Amino acid sequence: MNRKKYNRFKNTLTISLILTLFVLSGCGVGQTSSTGGESKKNTIINIGVQGKVGILYYAKNNKYFEKAFEKENVEIKWSEFTSGPPHFEAIASGRLDFGATGGTPLIAGQAGGIDFRAIGVTSDGEKNYAILVSKGSSYKSIEDLKGKKVAVAPGSGSSNFLYMALDKNKLTAKDIEIVPLQPDEARAAFENGSVDAWTIWEPYLTTAIYQIGAVPILTSEDINLLSPAFLVARTKFTEEHPKYTELFLKTYEAARKEYVKNIDSISKELAATQGVDQEIIRKFNEKTNSILSPTTKEFRKAQQEQADFLYKEGVINKKIDISKVIDNSFVENALK
């Protein structure tokens, strides 16, 4: 891989986050209109959602949060994101209060100085990632991708998976040509042959397997990758509204339990409204293994190991202590 392109890929997210902080340093804290304590004024809570399946999307469609916060005189606003990194740009500008992302965007966000807290774990991530090649491709292993073009979203959990997969197979990012693309762009490039492989996460992973016959040549299970996904919150919001933060988590858990309990009917409903095969949704949810948990010692250790690895690879430009952004107090109270 061209060294210039390699460095540009490594620094894309960190640079964008630093620039976001610089440009927005004089801005307010977004649309949350209260000023300390629980609001006596109208408060707007901004929630980010990613993808068209999963707990938050289900909760959004069924107005779980709107109903839960109705008596609190709180308005819920939703924003859709293509991947984790844009969540943190929105948190930095005060435009987002809560969201859900993989662990790698947390690491990049912390390295970029974003003020946020990881307030709960939603998945262990063990089955979330894979490197895909086209049906009938001659590429059978990651070693076959030497010198080939591999699409991946920079700063996403799939980029961390790609780096670790290369490392475990005695390769580096310089052995391939990384093409930084968001999921929709990457799928188009993958389908038209502009890239040779695609490193991606769920639900895009299962969707590509079922819809276009994509073939996984290496998965996160193959390298025993524990890569927890998190609920994240803007720090200032949690400090001003601890009660609302706990209510957010309680509402998420209520939606999660209902989702898991009625997955067959919900899969059928989502398939009808989203135009996606029911089997894709069922398989995705089976692999995701949704939970709501504090960040345990095991999850903390896995997250720190990822951060150390990304620092060693030069993906982030400073060592970080991930415990600095973890706050289990809200989820522990919510789950009592």
Q: How confident is the model at residue 99 (pLDDT cuts 50, 70, 90)?
A: very high
Unique residue bearing structure tokens 């993808």: 51
Unique residue bearing structure tokens 């979203």: 153
Q: How far apart are CA 62 and CA 269, in angstroms?
A: 12
pLDDT of 122 > 60? The answer is yes
- In CATH terms, are 6-124+227-334 and 127-219 the same topology? yes
> DSSP H helical segments within the chain, as ranges?
3-24, 55-61, 64-69, 85-92, 103-111, 157-168, 183-191, 204-212, 235-240, 242-261, 263-274, 278-288, 297-312, 329-334
Q: What length is written for the chain? A: 336
Q: What is the pLDDT of residue 21?
A: 37
Q: What is the pLDDT of residue 14?
A: 43
CA distances (Å), origin 162, targets 132, 146, 153, 306: 11, 13, 10, 12
Q: How far apart are CA 179 and CA 195, in angstroms?
A: 8
Average pLDDT of the residues in 183-195: 96
Backbone angle region of 50, left / alpha / beta, with phi > 0 → left and psi within -120 to 50 → alpha = beta
Q: What is the pLDDT of residues 51-75, one digit of tens each?
A: 777 899 889 989 999 999 999 999 9
If one compares 289 and 45, the residue with the highest pLDDT of the two is: 45
Q: What is the pLDDT of residue 156?
A: 84
Q: What is the pLDDT of residues 10-32, one digit of tens each?
A: 444 443 433 333 333 333 334 44
Q: What is the pLDDT of residues 246-289, one digit of tens each?
A: 999 999 999 999 998 888 888 888 777 767 777 777 777 777 77
Whether the link from the prior residue into 180 is cis, omega within 30° of 0, is no
Q: What is the pLDDT of residue 164?
A: 92
Handedness of CA 138, 143, 146, 152 (dihedral sign): positive
**What percentage of residues in the chain have a pLDDT greater than 90?**
64
Q: How confident is the model at residue 328 (pLDDT cuts 50, 70, 90)?
A: very high
pLDDT of 238 > 90? The answer is yes
| Ranges of each domain in the chain | 6-124+227-334, 127-219
Contact indicator for 41, 214 with CB cutoff of 8 Å: no
Q: Across the chain, what does the average pLDDT equal?
A: 86
Average pLDDT of the residues in 236-241: 97
What is the model's pTM? 0.80
* Domain 127-219 homologous superfamily, CATH: Periplasmic binding protein-like II (3.40.190.10)
pLDDT of 295 > 60? The answer is yes
Between helices 263-274 and 242-261, what is the axis angle to 10°? 100
Q: How far apart are CA 209 and CA 24, in angstroms?
A: 40
Q: How far apart are CA 225 and CA 294, in angstroms?
A: 19
CA distances (Å), origin 247, targets 53, 65, 93, 242, 330: 22, 9, 23, 9, 9
CATH number given to 6-124+227-334? 3.40.190.10
Average pLDDT of the residues in 317-333: 97
If one compares 37 and 154, the residue with the highest pLDDT of the two is: 154
Contacts 24+ apart (CB under 8 A), 310-315: 310/104, 310/107, 310/108, 310/160, 310/163, 313/10, 313/163, 313/167, 313/173, 314/10, 315/10, 315/108, 315/159, 315/160, 315/163
Q: How far apart are CA 211 and CA 216, in angstroms?
A: 14
